[in-house]
Chain A
Amino acid sequence: MSADTLTPETVAGPPAAAHPLLSVRELTVRFRMRGGREVAAVTDVGLDLAPGECLALVGESGCGKSVLASALLGLLPGNAHVSGSAVLRGPGEADGLDLLTADEATLARTVRGRRVGLVPQSPAAHLTPVRTVRSQLAETVRELTGARGEELRAATLTAAGRAAFPADHLDRYPHQLSGGLAQRAATALALVGDAPLLLADEPTTGLDRDLVDRTVDELRAHTDEGRGLLIITHDLAAAERVADRVAVMYAGRIVELAPAPDFFGTPGPRHPYARGLLEALPERSFTPIPGMPPELGDLPAGCAFAPRCDRAADVCATVPQLTGGVACHRPLTAAAGEGPAARREGSRV
Chain B
Amino acid sequence: MTPPRTRHTGPAGGAGPHALELRDITAGYDRRAPVLRGVSLSLREGEAVGLLGPSGCGKSTLAKVAALLHRPDAGTVHLGGEPARGFRHRAPRAQRTAVGVVFQSPRLAADPRLTLSALIAEPLLATGRKAGAADRTRELARAVGLGPDLLGRRPHEVSDGQLQRACVARALALRPRVLVCDEMTAMLDASTTAALVAVVEDYRARSGAALLAVGHDRTLLERWCDRTVELHGGGTDSALRSAPRAAAGTSAG
Contacts and interface: CB of A to CB of B under 8 A. Distances in A.
Contact residues on B (Cβ < 8 Å of other chain), bracket? 20 to 34
A179 interface: yes
Given A205-B186, A211-B55, A280-B191, 19 more contacts: A60-B161, A61-B159, A61-B187, A61-B192, A62-B159, A62-B161, A178-B56, A205-B187, A208-B54, A277-B189, A277-B191, A280-B193, A282-B217, A283-B219, A283-B252, A284-B251, A285-B249, A287-B194, A335-B253
Contacts of B251: 279, 284-285
A59 B189 contact: yes
A281 B188 CA distance: 12
Contact of B253 (A268, A288, A292): A268
B73 interface: no
Contacts of A289: 191
B142 interface: no
Contact residues on A (Cβ < 8 Å of other chain), bracket? 20 to 34
Given A283-B219, A283-B249, A60 B191 contact: yes
Nearest 10 Cβ contacts at the A-B interface: A208-B216, A288-B195, A62-B159, A288-B194, A282-B223, A280-B190, A280-B194, A280-B191, A234-B189, A285-B251
Interface in B191-229: 191-195, 197-198, 216-220, 222-224
B194 A208 contact: no
A209 B55 contact: no
Contacts of A211: 55
A209 B192 contact: no
Contact of A292 (B55, B145, B193, B252): B145
A305 to B, nearest CB: 12
B162 interface: yes
Interface of B: 54-56, 104, 145, 159-162, 186-195, 197-198, 216-220, 222-224, 249, 251-253
Given A60-B159, A268-B253, A335-B253, A288 B216 contact: no
Interface string A256-298: 0000000000001000000011111111111111011000000
Contacts of B161: 60-62, 292
B55 A288 contact: no
A207 interface: yes
A285 B197 CA distance: 13
B139 to A, nearest CB: 18
A309 interface: no
15 contacts: A60-B189, A178-B55, A179-B55, A205-B186, A206-B187, A207-B55, A209-B216, A210-B54, A234-B189, A278-B190, A280-B189, A282-B194, A283-B249, A284-B251, A288-B193
A236 interface: yes
Contact of B162 (A178, A281, A288, A292): A292
Nearest to B105: A206
A262 to B, nearest CB: 14
A190 B29 CA distance: 34
A110 B219 CA distance: 44
B192 A60 contact: yes
A225 B153 CA distance: 46
Nearest to A179: B55
Contacts of A210: 54
B57 to A, nearest CB: 9
Contact of A206 (B104, B195, B249): B104
Contacts of A285: 249, 251
